[in-house]
């Protein structure tokens, strides 16, 4: 019998003493505070046995120690953008209250607590002319992004965001609070950069900040009728771009709702995202090629302060249900373009909210100063299909997205990135990591979490 087989009263008995063991607030189903388990991605079913609203590393360590002795599992959530289902045999640690961020402008570093978002770091770093290497959305949690590697809007120029991590503080499955750096617990330092939550719950991270006060960039939005012309031109244009420029393109079907600009709402559009951090005059000349290909219906490109980096992708802010399919490509050919247009272009009948193609390569293709568990640096492009699985079309949205990814198989590497299309599917680890990386992550998990307290969600373990 497992804990999920027990009735609620027996589960409550098993949790007796949790409040006495943990200084942080604890909420059980039906109690005030339990609603904080709700993730940003509302499609995930999150119904833990209890919610611990952690404020310190020791709250987390005490929770893990208690869970290990009582046979519970533990998982963690800051914002819940990459949320997966959480069942009643699991205690959910919510770190959203741990938002501290301290910037050292001389050393160009920031120490960031477990629940901070990138917006917290951007706000702290901007007055010093420093840049935090965030993802496309500043509302995503720092820790979850970095433990997944981190592929951001400047990825071709700066590479993987996790390559700029100096140290982690974490709680292991044994309830120990450890520090991981290239010199101290280097095996953990390797695995935490790319291994998601396999090796523990990160309570704080120290990162490098870069002297990038501003960038030239934004998005060009075109009417959906121009999608064939724009996507074909973008594919050709990418071949000539230097590493100082990062770009992506997205077919969008945004709803009519507050926050969505009127020219983009309720119809198909196509956006070209663009970020350059050097030689702004040259960057403007290069973009003129796409501006000439079709007439933009909205043009947000210009010289912007780095703190406005979130405006490039303009990702949604409010919680919503989403489902994702994702693949990595070796190349982006004219045939690939036609597959995407047939599936998501004009008159395709697509139900997907976003079909996103990100150009990779450049600095991402080079290993950082310290090796990490992140794989697939050799991928040339990443394709992510994002839909809203709302009744009555939920299953159709999922199957249509999977079908598009399947159609891209001739150009696919077969790989996926840790932070895209999160899933606890048993086969996902083989798509995210190569065989050696999977083996070492699983071996480290056995060493640092012998009781399997973290054996849930997106982790790598040996198969029983």
Each residue of 287-322: pLDDT tens digit?
A: 999 999 999 999 999 999 999 999 999 999 999 999
pLDDT of residue 12: 63
What pLDDT is recorded for position 424?
A: 85
Give the burial class of 125: count Cβ atoms within 10 A of its Cβ; 0-12 exposed, 13-18 middle, 19 or more buried: buried
Which domains occur in the chain, in start order? 8-94 (3.30.43.10), 101-211 (3.30.465.10), 214-427 (3.40.462.20)
pLDDT category at 10 given cuts 50, 70, 90 is low
Q: Is the pLDDT of residue 4 over 60?
A: no
Helix H, strand E, coil C: the string for the chain is CCHHHCCHHHHHHHCCCHHHHCCCCEECCCCCCHHHHCCCECCCCECCCEEEECCCHHHHHHHHHHHHHHCCEEEEECCCCCCCCECCCEEEEECCCCCCEEEECCCCEEEEECCCEHHHHHHHHHHHCCECCCCCCCCCEHHHHHHCCCCCCCHHHHCCHHHHEEEEEEECCCCCEEEECCCCCHHHHHHHCCCCCCCCEEEEEEEECECCCEEEEEEEEEEHHHHHHHHHHHHHHHCCCCCCEEEEEEEEEECCCCCCCHHHECEEEEEEEEEECCCHHHHHHHHHHHHHHCCCCEECCEEEEHHHHHHCCCCCCCCECCEEEEEEECCCCHHHHHHHHHHHCCCCCCCCCEEEEEECCHHHHCCCCCCCCCCCCCCCEEEEEEECCCCCCHHHHHHHHHHHHHHCHHHECCCCCCCCCCCCCCCHHHHHCCHHHHHHHHHHHHHHCCCCCCCCCCCCCCCC
Could you tell me the two tokens for 189? 């330092």
Better-predicted residue by pLDDT, 9 or 429: 429
Residue 101 bridge partners (DSSP)? 112
- Spatial contact of 101 and 113, defined as CB atoms under 8 Å apart: yes
First to last CA, the chain: 17
Average pLDDT of the residues of the chain: 95
CB burial string 70-86: b at 16+ within 10 A, e below: bebbbbbbbbbbbbbeb
Cβ pair 104, 110 in contact under 8 A? yes
Q: What is the pLDDT of residue 439?
A: 98
Neighbours of 321 (CB within 10 A): 15
Q: 374: Cβ–Cβ under 8 A, 6 or more apart, which residues?
A: 149, 160, 162, 193, 194, 418
Q: What percent of the chain has pLDDT over 70?
A: 97
Of all residues in the chain, the percent with pLDDT exceeding 90 is: 94
pLDDT at residue 127 is higher than 60: yes
How far is CA 367 from each of CA 64, 75, 105, 165, 347, rounded to the nearest angstrom? 33, 30, 26, 14, 42
Q: What is the mean pLDDT of residues 166-188?
A: 98
The reported pTM is 0.96
From residue 363, alpha-carbon distances to 158, 165, 325, 434 in Å are: 6, 16, 25, 21
8-17, 34-43, 430-439: least confidently modelled range: 8-17
Instruction: In whole angstroms, give the CA distance from residue 142 to residue 85.
Output: 21
pLDDT at residue 148 above 60?
A: yes
Indicate the pLDDT class of residue 74, thresholds 50, 70 and 90: very high
- pLDDT higher than 60, residue 20: yes
Give per-residue pLDDT as tens, 408-455: 999 999 999 999 999 988 899 999 999 999 999 999 999 999 999 999
Mean pLDDT of 198-221: 98
> Which tokens sit at 408?
């891209």
What size, in residues, is the chain? 464
**Residue 377 backbone zone (phi > 0: left; psi -120 to 50: alpha; other: beta):** alpha
């Amino acid at each position: 019998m497992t804990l999920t087989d027990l009735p609620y009263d027996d589960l409550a008995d098993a949790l007796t003493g949790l409040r006495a063991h943990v200084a942080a607030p604890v909420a059980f189903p039906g109690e005030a505070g339990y609603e904080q388990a709700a993730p940003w991605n509302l499609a995930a079913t999150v119904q833990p046995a209890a919610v611990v609203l952690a404020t310190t590393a020791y709250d987390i360590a005490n929770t893990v120690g208690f869970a290990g002795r009582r046979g519970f599992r533990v998982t963690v959530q800051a914002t819940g953008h990459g949320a997966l289902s959480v069942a009643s045999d699991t205690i959910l640690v919510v770190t959203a209250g741990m938002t501290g961020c301290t910037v050292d402008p001389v050393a160009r570093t920031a120490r960031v607590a477990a629940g901070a978002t990138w917006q917290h770091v951007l706000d702290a770093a901007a007055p010093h002319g420093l840049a935090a290497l965030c993802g496309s959305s500043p509302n995503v949690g720092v820790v979850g992004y970095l433990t997944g590697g981190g592929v951001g809007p400047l990825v071709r120029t700066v590479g993987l965001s996790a390559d700029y991590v100096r140290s982690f503080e974490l709680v292991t499955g044994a309830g120990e609070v450890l520090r991981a750096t290239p010199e101290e617990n280097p095996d953990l330092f390797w695995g935490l950069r790319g291994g998601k939550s396999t090796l523990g719950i990160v309570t704080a991270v120290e990162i490098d900040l870069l002297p990038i006060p501003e960038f030239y960039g934004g998005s060009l939005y075109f009417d959906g009728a121009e999608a064939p012309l724009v996507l074909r031109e973008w594919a050709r244009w990418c071949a000539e771009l230097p590493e100082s420029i990062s770009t992506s393109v997205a077919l969008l079907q945004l709803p009519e709702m507050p926050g969505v600009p009127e020219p983009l709402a309720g119809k198909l559009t196509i956006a070209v995202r663009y970020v350059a951090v050097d030689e702004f005059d040259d960057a403007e000349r290069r973009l003129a090629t796409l501006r000439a290909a079709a007439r933009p219906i909205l043009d947000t490109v210009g010289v912007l302060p780095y703190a406005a980096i979130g405006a490039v992708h303009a990702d949604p802010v409010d919680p919503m249900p989403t489902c994702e399919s994702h693949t990595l490509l070796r190349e982006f050919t004219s045939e690939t373009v036609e597959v995407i247009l047939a599936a998501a272009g004009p008159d395709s009948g697509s139900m997907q909210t976003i079909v996103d193609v990100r150009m990779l390569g450049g600095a991402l293709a080079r290993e950082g100063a310290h090796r990490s568990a992140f794989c697939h640096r050799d991928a040339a492009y990443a394709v992510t299909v994002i839909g809203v699985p709302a009744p009555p079309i939920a299953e159709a949205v999922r199957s249509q997205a999977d079908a598009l990814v399947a159609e891209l198989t001739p150009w696919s590497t077969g790989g996926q990135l840790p932070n895209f299309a999160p899933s606890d599917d048993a086969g996902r680890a083989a798509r995210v990591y190569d065989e050696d990386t999977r083996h070492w992550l699983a071996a480290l998990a056995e060493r640092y979490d012998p009781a399997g307290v973290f054996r849930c969600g997106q982790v790598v373990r040996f198969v029983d």
